A = this chain, B = another copy of it.
């Protein structure tokens, strides 16, 4: 039930298309359930750091199984979990989990615009699955 590469690329393209529609420049990352990258695109004009941030948001969303924007970033518990998971998760708005048959199989995350817009792009990508 994992996300296939074809599906991941389709999600990336749909998210980038949404960013075009919103006239913003973003990085889009699709990862598997363990937070490791499957497909990625950074639009011209999106910052260098957005490449890492998009991956971190997606890993957080996949790891916790919910939208990264619902994670309380200043919670000592959330911070402790992130530390024990190697520090590779970013608990900030912009990523949503990807489900198949009700099971979290990965996540898609955006970065580069406002957090709200990042998540909108991620949701458009997720909807393309």
Q: A residues bordering B, Cβ < 8 Å?
A: 1-2, 4-5, 8-9, 27, 31-45, 47-49, 51-53, 55-56, 62-65, 73-77, 79-92, 102-104
Main secondary structure of the interface of A (DSSP, over half): mixed
By the criterion CB–CB under 8 Å, are B63 and A48 in contact? yes
Q: Nearest 3 pairs between A and B by C-beta?
A: A86-B86, A34-B34, A40-B40
By the criterion CB–CB under 8 Å, are B87 and A63 in contact? no
Q: Which residues of B lie under 8 Å from residue A62 when comparing CB positions?
A: 47-48
Known pairs A85-B86, A86-B87; A51 contacts B79 (CB<8 A): no
Closest beta carbon of chain B to A41's beta carbon, Å: 5
By the criterion CB–CB under 8 Å, are A65 and B47 in contact? yes
Per the bound structure, the CA–CA distance linking A65 and B46 in Å amounts to 9
Q: Which residues of B lie under 8 Å from residue A51 when comparing CB positions?
A: 31, 36-38
By the criterion CB–CB under 8 Å, are A91 and B104 in contact? no
Per the bound structure, the CA–CA distance linking A58 and B56 in Å amounts to 19
Nearest-neighbor residue (CB-CB) of A37 within chain B? B51
By the criterion CB–CB under 8 Å, are A76 and B91 in contact? yes
